[in-house]
Amino acid sequence: KAPTAQSDPPRVLISQLFPNGTYPAGQEVEYVNENSYRTTSEEKRHLDNINSEFLTDYRHAAEAHRQTRQWAQKFIQPGKTLTEVADGIEDSVRALVGHQGLEEGDGLKAGMGFPTGLSINHCAAHYNPNAGNKTVLQQDDVLKVDIGVHVNGRIVDSAFTLAWNPRYDPLLEAVKAATNAGVKEAGIDARLGEIGGVIQEVMESYEVELNGTTYPVKSIRNLNGHTINHYSIHGSKSVPIVKTNDQTKMEEGDVFAIETFGSTGNGYVHEEGEVSHYAKRGDAQKVDLRISSAKSLLNVINKNFGTLPFCRRYLDRLGQEKYLLGLNNLVANGIVESYPPLVDKKGSYTAQYEHTILIRPTVKEVISRGDDY
């Protein structure tokens, strides 16, 4: 008899839990003021209906995201290694969307949208444990869990923060509230700089006391939300998390990742440490590669990831060995972009919350909304 509930760890296909192929909608929020006509407009509803595959794939990926993260929120505890956490999350996502990603091209059908972000304390983003990493989660750590799930290239990019010492609660509350304020402000014709101002206002109304010193929570001013395109995790528009005079407006059909970061440090990150995250550039021009290992590696990247970001562990699981020289050559040639860890100052603590929202013709849909965040 087909299972009707998710297992622990999650291994039941989402498509099995929703057999008639209709997946749960995210949080749908009506547009307001001069855009309120869109709720009932025939033309806008038509535009929505001809986009039904897009919507189905997005809702499919979002349900896999929610079920994986709700398991992860219980599984992730001090004493676990980052490798165990990354493997647990990625095994679940791939099982739920039905693609292990081991045959050529399988990972392009559905699977991880990008490397699982597992960034600790002053590290805010783009950290994933490379092979041999022995890092064990500690009681006083602040861990950002940033999970990407895609179905047919429709990427859900959503993140949350875990901490086990209650002293960090105000930091996590600040960032959760700031992200929700940004999500609320978003909509058709919303100006990106204005959204940044709303986010910063909420974020910086909090403070956190650590070891007898009170720190104001700062928005990390050089991190931002972004548009998401088909098989592409970062599009042209960036959503600032501090006030700017960017008058660019959100438009019908856009997909945005609204992500905010709070910090007890400088409120500014720089690139530092060993790289795990890579992605083939969308605009990579043809280059005749001299190093054969670079040639064969580019082949593997094209067949398994396309322009989806990947990490070293994803190459390891495909059986690739001694690929670093080739990988660094692809980076040096501008064919592959590297994304080093992004860190604030040593000793500081950073937190992140992120949602993916669809600016649909008729309604704003917070596709990654769950009852957890």
Ligand X SMILES: O=S(=O)(c1cccs1)N(Cc1ccc(F)cc1)Cc1ncn[nH]1
List the one residue out of 164, 346, 364 whose CA is nearest residue 264. Answer: 346
- What SS3 state is found at 150? strand
Q: What are phi and psi of 154, to 5 degrees?
A: -90, 110
| Rounded Cα–Cα distance for residues 237 and 274 (Å) | 28
Neighbours of 111 (CB within 10 A): 26
Instruction: Indicate the residue type of 24.
Output: P
226 assigned to active site:
yes
Window of 22-30, 110-118, 195-203, 286-294 that interacts with ligand X by CB under 6 A: 110-118
Instruction: Indicate the residue type of 138.
Output: Q
The answer to whether 195 contacts ligand X (rule: CB under 6 A) is no
Identify any residues that bridge with 219 across adjacent strands, giving them in sequence order.
Answer: 262
Instruction: Indicate the residue type of 89.
Output: I
| Residue among 99 and 221 whose Cβ is closer to Mn ion | 99
List the one residue out of 243, 214, 215, 58 whose CA is nearest residue 149. Answer: 58
Q: What are phi and psi of 334, to 5 degrees?
A: 75, 15
| Residue among 54 and 339 whose Cβ is closer to ligand X | 339
Question: What dihedral do alpha carbons 277, 130, 116, 209 form, nearest 10°?
Answer: -100
234 assigned to active site:
yes
CA 144 to chain CA centroid, Å, is 11
The answer to whether 146 contacts ligand X (rule: CB under 6 A) is yes
| Rounded Cα–Cα distance for residues 149 and 96 (Å) | 10
The answer to whether 226 contacts ligand X (rule: CB under 6 A) is yes
Site residues (vs Mn ion, CB under 5 A): 99, 106, 146, 157, 159, 257, 259, 354
The interface partner of residue 339, options being ligand X, Mn ion, none and the CB cut-off 5 to 8 Å by kind, is: ligand X
355 assigned to active site:
no
* The binder of ligand X chosen from 157, 185, 254, 344 (CB under 6 A): 157
| Rounded Cα–Cα distance for residues 316 and 85 (Å) | 17
Window of 22-30, 38-46, 111-119, 327-335 that interacts with ligand X by CB under 6 A: 111-119
- CB-based contact 124:269 (threshold 8 Å): yes
The interface partner of residue 115, options being Mn ion, ligand X, none and the CB cut-off 5 to 8 Å by kind, is: ligand X
The answer to whether 339 contacts ligand X (rule: CB under 6 A) is yes
Instruction: Indicate the residue type of 189.
Output: D
The answer to whether 238 contacts ligand X (rule: CB under 6 A) is yes
Window of 54-62, 137-145, 168-176, 233-241 that interacts with ligand X by CB under 6 A: 233-241
Q: How far is the CB of 37 from ligand X (least distance, A)?
A: 32
371 assigned to active site:
no
Window of 27-35, 88-96, 114-122, 287-295 that interacts with ligand X by CB under 6 A: 114-122
Per annotation, catalytic residue among 234, 277, 355, 365 = 234
The interface partner of residue 106, options being Mn ion, ligand X, none and the CB cut-off 5 to 8 Å by kind, is: Mn ion
The interface partner of residue 192, options being Mn ion, ligand X, none and the CB cut-off 5 to 8 Å by kind, is: none
Beta strand segments in 99-177, E = 110-120, 123-125, 142-151, 154-163
Q: How far is the CB of 257 from ligand X (least distance, A)?
A: 6
204 assigned to active site:
no
146 assigned to active site:
yes
Residues in the chain: 373
| Residue among 6 and 200 whose Cβ is closer to ligand X | 200
Phi/psi region, residue 231 (left: phi>0; alpha: psi -120 to 50; beta: rest), is left
Q: How far is the CB of 56 from ligand X (least distance, A)?
A: 23
Q: How far is the CB of 228 from Mn ion (least distance, A)?
A: 8
Q: How far is the CB of 79 from ligand X (least distance, A)?
A: 26
Catalytic residue IDs: 146, 157, 226, 234, 259, 354
Residues found near ligand X in the complex (CB under 6 A): 114-115, 117, 125, 146, 157, 224, 226, 233-234, 238, 257, 259, 277, 279, 309, 339
